[in-house]
Chains A and B, each alone.
Chain A
Amino acid sequence: MMRNVGIIGVGYTPIFVSKRKDVSIPEMISEAVDAGFRNTGLTPEDIDAVIFGNMQTFEGVNLPHLWAVEHIRALGKPVMRIATGGTTGMSAFHAGYYHVASGMADVVMVVTYEKHSEGDAQVGLMGIITPEVMTMLQAGIDVTGGSGMGAIGGGSAGGISFQAMSYLNHSGASIEHIDAMAAMERRNAAKNPYAHLKDPECTAEKIAETAMVSYPIRFGHICPTTDGSTVCILASEEKAAELADKVAWVWSVANCCSDATTGNLVDGMITDPAEQRPCMIAARQAYERAGIEDPKTEFDVIEIYNGFAHQTLMFLEKLGVCEVGEAHKLLEAGELEIEGRLPTNASGGVVSTNSIGTSALNRVTEAALQIMGKAEGGHQVPKDVHKALAHSWGGLMQYVAVTVLGDTPPRK
């Protein structure tokens, strides 16, 4: 039995900033939980199950849902912890979706967070491959990237620079397009009260002045680390009718993974990290399940997980929303702007706000808010939103999760 599932509410911490020095981890999370209840008028008694997600090694707290159990109002309830790297927020959302779709719960709360200021992001990131790096060190690798096989290249941007370069090569876009994309997202972020890096006057030229990390990645193309928490409440069709005035319906979810991109640390990768085949597979499956026949014309709003500015353009192509080589032309023509034909990352995207546990969920909540007409601060797109696409990406470049949302229930 496959039931219809709708998003009936969203809750954010009041701000997403570099350092929340005024709250502890559970306190910060409870701000978003309270916001979720406030925005929907629900109480903890209404919630049947809680899904919890974040990337715990960034803060050094194992299974934080155990410590935060009362802050997320989950005492006595089924609580499921999901952790899939960058896609965690959306994977957690998918788990919530299946709780309701299967009939095992009627109302589910998805809770995500990250408090980067209380940890070391470098340790978190490098920790993905610690044993492999240690093995390669014994084998003679030069971790400064100066010489030898496997020399870790790409500076602090790492393997992403290769992806960006490959993207430029096959799309015909230039680094100036990446600058312009980043600038647009920072301007959008200025209209989103829940975004981190905001610059209403941002231009491609301003981004181009930032330091070059590793061509073509500039400092201005890179996402920040943010403290924040996001909550999303899902309900069955029956409960949504009872409890909500506006609903963003989940038409489909899908995900796919390939092999980890390590530039041959111990294990060589056989999948082109710039091709993003898992993205193409996940998108195809999501469209099939949702009955989307033409992704180029059917979406009114798109939210893309872009830890790096080039990824907005790259994933538009990989998701089939435009042809290869077309994304930067859409950007040039202004079609990706909030008032454009295909508003993309009206929220400012991950490149403007990145509390990593929330980042993938925010793609869903932002798309949902657009459908519900509830996006605040000026980033609500000025048209009816019937169908939206939310995308997420993570892992060692190989995880993709996709969600299709609509303004009506998907099945009669």
Chain B
Amino acid sequence: MEETKVVTGAWELSTFKFRVEGEGLRLMLENMKDKKLVGTKCSKCGTVYIPGNFYCRKCHVKIDEQAEVSDHGTVMSYTVGYSDVRGNPLEEPRIAVEVKLDGGDTWIMGVMQECKPEDMEIGKRVKVKWNEVRSGSLQDMKAFIPE
């Protein structure tokens, strides 16, 4: 096979100024300072979104009722990572989890600590390990730990 000439191009993502829905995220982060997890609830079907959404996917109506969910929940799925997002090996395997918090209908992704991979299972009960100092950031919730 003959080699052809290679020329370069780029997609300058830096030239974009995005506007993303942020209300629900802001609501959740504000309340995380007080170790509370607050989302929005659809009064028609009862679905609770966390982070909150301004409308309900199922009913296609605007929702603004706030709903607090527990910081305890159930592991809906998990995985044990041996490399990071770019494929570089990790020093120690890391457990990532998808958790459905009690009272909520969305799955939250996070990292699992204080638990060995062999002791993990779908359906495990977990709770949030809150950071001592909280500032309204996603880091306020350090990790999930066994209940």
Q: Are any A and B Cβ atoms less than 8 Å apart in their complex?
A: yes
Task: List chain A residues, Cβ under 8 A from B80.
Answer: 214-215
Q: Which of B15-61 contact A (CB under 8 A)?
A: 16, 18, 20-22, 24-25, 29, 39, 47, 49-51, 53, 57-58
A147/B143 in contact, CB under 8 A: yes
Q: Among the listed stretches A5-13, A17-25, A279-287, which one makes contact with chain B, having 4 or more residues with CB under 8 Å of it?
A: A17-25
Task: List chain A residues, Cβ under 8 A from B96.
Answer: 145, 151-154, 161-162, 214
B49/A268 in contact, CB under 8 A: yes
Task: List chain B residues, Cβ under 8 A from A132.
Answer: 20
B138/A150 in contact, CB under 8 A: yes
Task: List chain A residues, Cβ under 8 A from B57.
Answer: 259, 270
B87/A156 in contact, CB under 8 A: yes
Task: List chain A residues, Cβ under 8 A from B93.
Answer: 215
B84/A212 in contact, CB under 8 A: no
A143/B139 in contact, CB under 8 A: no
Task: List chain A residues, Cβ under 8 A from B29.
Answer: 139
Question: What is the 8 Å Cβ interface bit string for chain B, positions 113-142, against chain A (1 contact, 0 not)?
Answer: 000010000100000000000000111111
Q: Counting CB contacts under 8 A, is A322 at the interface?
A: no
The number of chain A residues touching the other chain, given as a range, is 35 or more
A154/B79 in contact, CB under 8 A: yes
A131/B139 in contact, CB under 8 A: no
Task: List chain B residues, Cβ under 8 A from A323.
Answer: none
Q: Counting CB contacts under 8 A, is A40 at the interface?
A: no
Task: List chain B residues, Cβ under 8 A from A147.
Answer: 111, 139, 142-143
With both chains docked as a complex, state the minimum distance between the C-beta of B62 and any C-beta of chain A, in angstroms.
15
Q: Which of B94-111 contact A (CB under 8 A)?
A: 94, 96-98, 104-111
Q: Among the listed stretches A98-106, A163-171, A190-198, A341-349, which one makes contact with chain B, having 4 or more residues with CB under 8 Å of it?
A: A163-171
B1/A22 in contact, CB under 8 A: yes
In the assembled complex, the Cα of A156 lies from the Cα of B90 at a distance in Å of 12
Number of A-B residue pairs having CB atoms within 8 Å of each other in the complex: 196
B111/A264 in contact, CB under 8 A: no
Q: Counting CB contacts under 8 A, is A149 at the interface?
A: yes
Task: List chain B residues, Cβ under 8 A from A158.
Answer: 85
Known: A142-B139, A169-B122, A212-B82. A151 touches B76 (CB 8 A): no
Q: Which of B10, B83, B109 lies in contact with A214, CB distance below 8 A? A: B83
Q: Counting CB contacts under 8 A, is A174 at the interface?
A: no
B11/A150 in contact, CB under 8 A: no
B85/A166 in contact, CB under 8 A: no
Nearest residue (CB) in A for B3 is A21
Nearest residue (CB) in A for B121 is A169
A264/B4 in contact, CB under 8 A: no
Task: List chain B residues, Cβ under 8 A from A267.
Answer: 21, 24, 49, 51, 53
Q: Which of B59-78 contact A (CB under 8 A)?
A: 76-78
A148/B77 in contact, CB under 8 A: no
In the assembled complex, the Cα of A213 lies from the Cα of B47 at a distance in Å of 34
With both chains docked as a complex, state the minimum distance between the C-beta of A232 and any C-beta of chain B, in angstroms.
26
Known: A139-B29, A214-B80. A152 touches B18 (CB 8 A): no
Query: Which 5 A-B pairs give the minimum distances between C-beta atoms?
Result: A153-B96, A268-B106, A140-B137, A263-B109, A161-B79
What are 22 A-B residue pairs whose CB atoms fall within 8 Å in the complex? A22-B3, A22-B4, A24-B4, A139-B137, A140-B139, A142-B139, A144-B84, A147-B111, A147-B143, A148-B139, A148-B141, A149-B110, A150-B108, A150-B138, A153-B81, A153-B109, A153-B110, A166-B76, A263-B107, A263-B108, A264-B51, A268-B53
Taking beta carbons and an 8 Å cutoff, which residues of A are in contact with B?
20-24, 57, 60-61, 122-123, 127, 130-132, 134-136, 139-159, 161-166, 169, 211-217, 259, 263-264, 266-270, 272, 274
Taking beta carbons and an 8 Å cutoff, which residues of B are in contact with A?
1-4, 9-11, 13, 16, 18, 20-22, 24-25, 29, 39, 47, 49-51, 53, 57-58, 76-87, 90, 93-94, 96-98, 104-111, 117, 122, 137-143
